[in-house]
A and B are shown apart, each in its own frame.
Chain A
Amino acid sequence: MSETTEKVRKTLARRYRAEKRFKAFGIGSIGIGLMALVLLFTDIIGKGHSAFVEYEIQLPITFDAEVLDVSDPRDEDELNYGNYQGVIRDALAERFPTVEGRQDTRALNQLVSTGAGYALRDMLREEPTLLGETRTLWLLADDDVDLFLKANEEQREDSRLNEKQQAWVAELETSGETRMVFNQSLFSYGDSREPEQAGILGAILGSLFTMIVTLVLSFPVGVAAAVYLEEFAPKNKFTDFIEVNINNLAAVPSIIFGLLGLAVIIGLFGLPRSVPLVGGIVLTLMTLPTVIISSRAAIKAVPPSIRQAAMGLGASKMQVVLHHVLPLALPGMLTGAIIGMAQALGETAPLLMIGMVAFIVDLPAGPLDAATVLPVQIYLWADSPEQSFESLASAAIMVLLAFLITMNTLAVILRKRLERRW
């Protein structure tokens, strides 16, 4: 046996150990990445799932005309100024007749959400004959009560309710006068200072209008730019300059686009702040490189034989592109556009710059109404001190992720279904 073989054999065990170690590092790294993903999702679902339900309290409500100060429920003005809180207060006092003293009464009245009054008003508007009658109704609980009822024994000790309130709620709970229902307000209202009345519909609409503006602007412009660069652009300095610009824009931090929007679109052109139109324009500029790059790839994938065949039959260059290349490249372009839209939908930072962080209760009706978007709403709620907003933010994240997953799945399906292999 030669000396070298001897040497190799001696170190072999060590080298195999090193091999195994290296491989284990690799598996470990992938494990870390996947674990982070699982942790992220379980954390958010764990925090957010409870926000999809809310608690209601059962109370016998008397629509007393005197307490309400409403004589004619058909009169819109009177209806709007009705003292619905008074009716609820009376009902609560009746349910807990032993409660006395100003402080305790106020604590008792805090159990029901301030939004319950609006529900009563809407009922009265629907059914004017209710005036003077007594109905047993389910009223929305305050968010602290909601948290208390959702919590387990241990967490209940940190509740923001005081001891008396806790006792009342526990009494209601044991006698079956509380119930858990699907949180409808989450999907039917805009933002609110009260967590139990806050919803994401306003943010979803804002996101929708912003995305429509982004899609309408970025898809045609991106496709046209890609067609020009792939099919028409001469090889010269100007074309190179365009390409360098596109590649660099793809890597510019998104917040810089916000600065551009603030200084140019709002500052120079005088468009209003906080509106989806401006948000859409800013996101268009941000996603344009993505759309252009994926559209170019799709155009490149169309085989030259198709162009040559069309040209051989006498089509002009523009006819070749518009009649043959574009229809064949369209699925790939759409995939790119959807991915670009998904990126834009999750974007927050540039929208903060153009003032889409305002507290907006009203639902936006168009791209020129002040609005916020889903990611910004998440940011606003995550920053709120109240604990209920934390689970609302998680719920909003779940909705946002659901949208993103849908869009990306759609892109994958589209690619599989429509993309041809040549």
Chain B
Amino acid sequence: MQTGNLLLLLVVMVAGAYYLGLRRSFALARPLGGIRHLHSLPFYFAMRSAMWCAIPALVVLGLWLAFDDSIIRQQVLASLPAELQPTDASSYNLTLSKIQNVASGALPVNFVEPPIAAAAEHLQSLRQTSAMALTVVIIVLCMLGGAWAWLKVSPQLRARQQVERVLQTLFMLCATVAILTTVGIVMSVLFESIRFFGKVPVTDFLFGLQWSPQTALRADQVASGGAFGAVPLFMGTMLISAIALLVAVPVGLMSAIYLAEYASNRVRTVAKPALEVLAGVPTVVYGFFAALTVAPFIRGLGESVGLDVASESALAAGLVMGIMIIPFVSSLADDVITAVPQAMRDGSLGLGATKSETIKKVIFPAALPGIMGGILLAASRAIGETMIVVMAAGLAANLTANPLEAVTTITVQIVTLLTGDQEFDSAKTLAAFALGLMLFITTLVMNIFALHIVKKYREQYD
């Protein structure tokens, strides 16, 4: 039976268990003189039956679906004769996809060796057996669970407590998804990175000045072994982020100061959401704007004053990225500026300082840690930003500090290494995960540091 149908059947059975549990609790209550003689409301007895029916079945279903494919695969491959046994990862994938294609009918049987065809048949039969067994197991589990719950219903049963405990556990499991995600991220980038560092030494990666990830596809091919020195990427990322911050920090900060200290309520209610719209525009739109409008414009501007500007200059990507992070800087700065106690303003103004002097000499120093935190958050945003640089920055690694030249960044390289044709095991693919690890660590450290600064500062005036 198909998984969809099986799930539908499961829903029906659970509904049935709910109904039976409800009926049973009413039936038990009647001779006692009404449901007030039950420990819990009938709803809880019914829910308890439904849970007993659903949860074991769902757990088994999930595990089964997660692992049946790999087990079947191993079985099928083990059934192949010795000379067809795959020796390495790529031939493993090839053999497997051949078998699967024959099984699904995409590849005619007479195109392949007889053992492969036999394996395909074996695969089909195993799949059918697995599906049948799954159906039977699920139905039996549902019935057993439901029957157990039905039998256990008694007026003294603490059904509400049991149901609530299950619900609370469920809620807690949902909260741990955040931990699982973090663990998943760390594991996925870490394992692949370790494999990468097995092929390329860590020091070469961190301190090498050459980045050309094209490796030979076959061993006998005449091609470069690939160079994985990531320094040009780090430099490119920093260059573009620096340009972005040069735009975003002054503009964002001054906007925040004006909106918090000078602007009338009317201006505030219009200008603040309008600036925040900038944060809601998808990054691909900024990328489009940078690549097709800003970059040609800067190039034309450079030509008119006799400068040679690359068509994928770091300046264009950095400028547009700066516009994108203006709202991050301004809204974070706004928060910390308004958090400065009014007494400090009044004191300064009372001593005869002008408003701008108060801001520069009193409010700004008081808000500085928070503002620094905000800038750090904006910087980590700029480093991790992908679409703008993928569309507007270059692909070739170029170790330069000239904003008019094309540079490439970590995120651009991750995207180019992982889109398009790839084999999962090559150093080229694994390099993307190593870059991802670098990116993750950098942004994580910056975020923790930024949050730490912000938190520490906030405690001062409480």
Contacts and interface: CB of A to CB of B under 8 A. Distances in A.
Contact of B283 (A228, A285, A346, A394): A346
Highest count of chain B CB atoms <10 Å: which of A33, A44, A220: A33
Interface string B147-179: 000000000000010001001101110111111
Size band of the A side of the interface?
35 or more
B234 interface: no
B157 to A, nearest CB: 16
Interface stretch (A22-30, A91-99, A165-173, A179-187): A22-30
B175 A397 contact: no
A37 B283 CA distance: 13
Highest count of chain A CB atoms <10 Å: which of B174, B176, B184, B274: B174
Interface in A380-422: 382-383, 390, 393-394, 397, 400-401, 404, 408
Contacts of A311: none
B175 A288 contact: no
Given A228-B172, A259-B436, A316-B164, A401 B285 contact: yes
Interface stretch (B20-28, B304-312, B348-356): B348-356
B9 interface: no
Contact of B288 (A27, A248, A269, A382): A382
B278 to A, nearest CB: 6
Contacts of B175: 224-225, 228-229, 233, 242
A242 B175 CA distance: 7
Interface stretch (B121-129, B201-209, B442-450): B442-450
Interface stretch (B31-39, B76-84, B220-228, B247-255): B247-255
B171 A264 contact: no
Contacts of B188: 259-260, 262-264, 267
B285 A349 contact: no
Nearest to B293: A43
Nearest to A261: B188
B284 A255 contact: no
Contacts of A233: 172, 175
Interface string B57-78: 0000000001001100000000
A264 B285 CA distance: 29
Contact of B168 (A232, A245, A357): A232
A357 B284 CA distance: 13
Interface in B279-338: 280-289, 291-293, 323, 326-327, 330
B271 interface: yes
A33 B326 contact: yes
A251 B443 contact: yes
Highest count of chain A CB atoms <10 Å: which of B167, B377, B451: B167
Contacts of A382: 284, 287-288, 291-292, 391
A269 B68 CA distance: 11
B262 interface: yes
A26 B168 CA distance: 51
Given A40-B281, A224-B171, A252 B355 contact: no
Contacts of A258: 418
Contacts of A43: 289, 293
A85 interface: no
Interface in A26-49: 26-30, 32-34, 36-37, 40, 43-44, 47
A268 B277 CA distance: 38
A29 B258 contact: yes
A245 B178 contact: yes
Contacts of A220: 174
A353 B177 CA distance: 21
Contact of B66 (A44, A251, A267, A269): A269
Highest count of chain B CB atoms <10 Å: which of A40, A289, A397: A40
Interface of A: 8, 15-16, 18-19, 22-23, 25-30, 32-34, 36-37, 40, 43-44, 47, 220-222, 224-225, 227-229, 232-233, 241-242, 245-249, 251-260, 262-264, 267, 269-270, 285, 288-289, 292, 316-318, 342, 345-349, 352-353, 355, 357, 375-376, 378-379, 382-383, 390, 393-394, 397, 400-401, 404, 408
18 contacts: A25-B254, A29-B250, A30-B275, A43-B289, A47-B292, A221-B177, A225-B171, A225-B174, A228-B168, A253-B440, A262-B418, A263-B191, A270-B70, A289-B178, A352-B419, A378-B284, A382-B292, A404-B282
Interface of B: 66, 69-70, 160, 164, 167-168, 170-172, 174-179, 181-182, 184-185, 187-189, 191-192, 250-255, 257-259, 262, 271, 274-275, 277-278, 280-289, 291-293, 323, 326-327, 330, 352, 354-357, 359-360, 377, 380-381, 383-387, 390-391, 411, 414-415, 418-419, 424, 432-433, 436, 439-440, 443-444, 447-448, 451
3 shortest A-B CB distances, which residue pairs? A253-B384, A26-B258, A346-B282
